[in-house]
Amino acid sequence: MATRHLTASMAALLVACVAAAQQPKRQAADWNVTNGTIAVKNYQGKKALHLVSSKKLTLARRRGMSFRDGTIELDIAAAAKGDHYIGVAFRMQDKVAKALKVQDNSKQLFENIYFRPFKSGTENAIQYCAAGTKCNWSYLRKNYPGVYEANADLPETGWFHVKIVIARVTAKVYVNDATTPNLVVKDLKHGFSEGGVGLTTYHKSAYFANLKVTARAEAQQAKMTVLIPKGAVWKYLDDGSDQGTEWKEAGFDDSAWKSGPAKLGYGGKDVKTQIGFGPESEGKFITAYFRHAFQVEDPTSVAGLKVELLRDDGAVLYLNGKEVHRENMPAGKVTAQTKSTGAVGDANENRYFKASLEAVLQKGRNVIAVEVHQWGGTSSDTGFDLQLNGM
């Protein structure tokens, strides 16, 4: 069946079809199942879809649905005690992963957020992986420990409620009555894509009820607000000092800092604000600091952030005191003497590098702070500018 983009009215129709208890036969038939079976049953007071595993990853895909941004809500329960892996698949692609050793056996491409009730209360009760890529749970845990899994209190056989809010390349996962997300995935590995919605279970059977899929309107998905434009006026410090950590906080007093419009830097013809590099041309300061405040009246209206960053050579970005991005910089602690991992030259000196940021915004005043680092003290030039877009 050909898929179509899910509008708000189509979402409402879908919910009616999925949740309608008076149509159980049609409810089960609306799902295409790989490596298992599906049926409608009563479980602990709910009319539910019972997905039975064949000891491989069992995947049920809702027929005729295409989804990109929005919210997926449902109730989930394990059928019995044991090592359950129960979850939600979204942005499912029609392509088949042939070139990779896909550990989930489905050989399909999709984003997968799943829950492990037998690990309730531990740091890996919730996990994310990107099916059809190398980014399975073991790869992500080894290379990014603690980033793609999180704690949650889950009943081993009872119902728990899940809400997943998806916006471009970010997914926020809420369990039960949580007001802050239990898990935030900032960089969905399949990128900003569109595809189907499904249910998954591994090893054991599971129950799913009250599925509700609400798509963000097309106009809302495409809407972008410029929070900081290119060429904005920035506060800056160019005295070669090590500012430690307080300078990046939203409440830091930068009234004594200089200010000027971007592009800020030295050594380039297009620099609008010349910053200092110290008394020695062969021993220039490694780091310069920049701050800019902007207003957000309703943080909940901003689902994600996009940055366009001109940086010569490397940079670390903080939003309201929290690091949200770094480019051309080594991992770990950064000081005023930390050099970038390489020099930027030629066309890249004026290139705006694009990235997605976590929207750690607060109502009212917000501050983005940036430290720009040189590859060495003999560098001939530096430059900085930034545009921040909210979606």
pLDDT at 24 over 50: no
Per residue in 267-287, pLDDT (tens digit) is: 988 999 999 999 999 999 999
**29 Cβ neighbours under 8 A, 6+ residues apart:** none
Task: Quickly state the pLDDT bin for 159 (edges 50, 70, 90).
Answer: very high
The two tokens of residue 280 are 């020695």
Q: How high does pLDDT run on average in the chain?
A: 88
pLDDT reported for residue 218 = 56
pLDDT in tens, 206-259: 999 999 999 876 545 556 789 999 999 999 999 999 999 999 999 999 999 999
Cα separation, 248 vs 237, whole angstroms: 12
- The model's confidence at residue 193, banded by pLDDT at 50, 70 and 90, is confident
pLDDT recorded at residue 257: 98
Give me the pLDDT at residue 54, please.
79
> Which of 19-33, 116-130, 250-264, 286-300 is the least confident region?
19-33
pLDDT at 303: 76
pLDDT at residue 99 in the model: 47
Confidence label for 5 from pLDDT (cuts 50, 70 and 90): very low
> Which whole number is the average pLDDT over 128-147?
93
Residue 358: the pLDDT is 86
Backbone angles phi, psi at 301, to 5 degrees: -80, -10
- Residues 302-317: tens digit of each pLDDT: 878 999 999 999 999 9
Long-range contacts of 92-98 (CB under 8 A, 24+ apart): 92/61, 92/195, 92/196, 92/197, 92/198, 93/132, 93/190, 93/193, 93/195, 94/195, 95/132, 97/131, 97/132, 97/133
Of 240-254, 335-349, 362-376, the least confident: 335-349
The reported pLDDT for the residue numbered 236 is 98
pLDDT, average across residues 164-175:
92
Instruction: Give me the pLDDT at residue 78, please.
Output: 94
CA-nearest of 179, 176, 177 to 160 is: 176
Mean pLDDT of 341-366: 91
For the chain, report the end-to-end CA distance as a whole number of angstroms: 32
| CA-wise closest residue to 82 among 205, 199, 207, 200 | 205
pLDDT in tens, 35-86: 899 999 999 999 999 999 877 889 999 998 889 999 999 999 999 998 889 9
**From 3-12, 61-70, 185-194, the region with the lowest mean pLDDT:** 3-12
Q: What is the pLDDT of residue 95?
A: 65
Domains of the chain: 8-217 (2.60.120.560), 225-390 (2.60.120.260)
Q: Which of 275, 294, 169, 167 is nearest to 229 (CA)?
A: 294
* Residue with the larger pLDDT of the pair 107 and 300: 300
Q: Are 388 and 358 in contact (CB under 8 A)?
A: no
Q: Is 168 helix (H, G, I), strand (E, B) or coil?
A: coil
**pLDDT bucket at 23, cuts 50 / 70 / 90:** very low
Rounded to an integer, the average pLDDT of 196-201 is: 95
Residue 107: its pLDDT value, please?
A: 64
Instruction: Provide the pairing of β-strand 196-202 with 206-215.
Output: unpaired
Can you tell me which residue has the tokens 């000081």?
335
pLDDT at 98 over 70: no
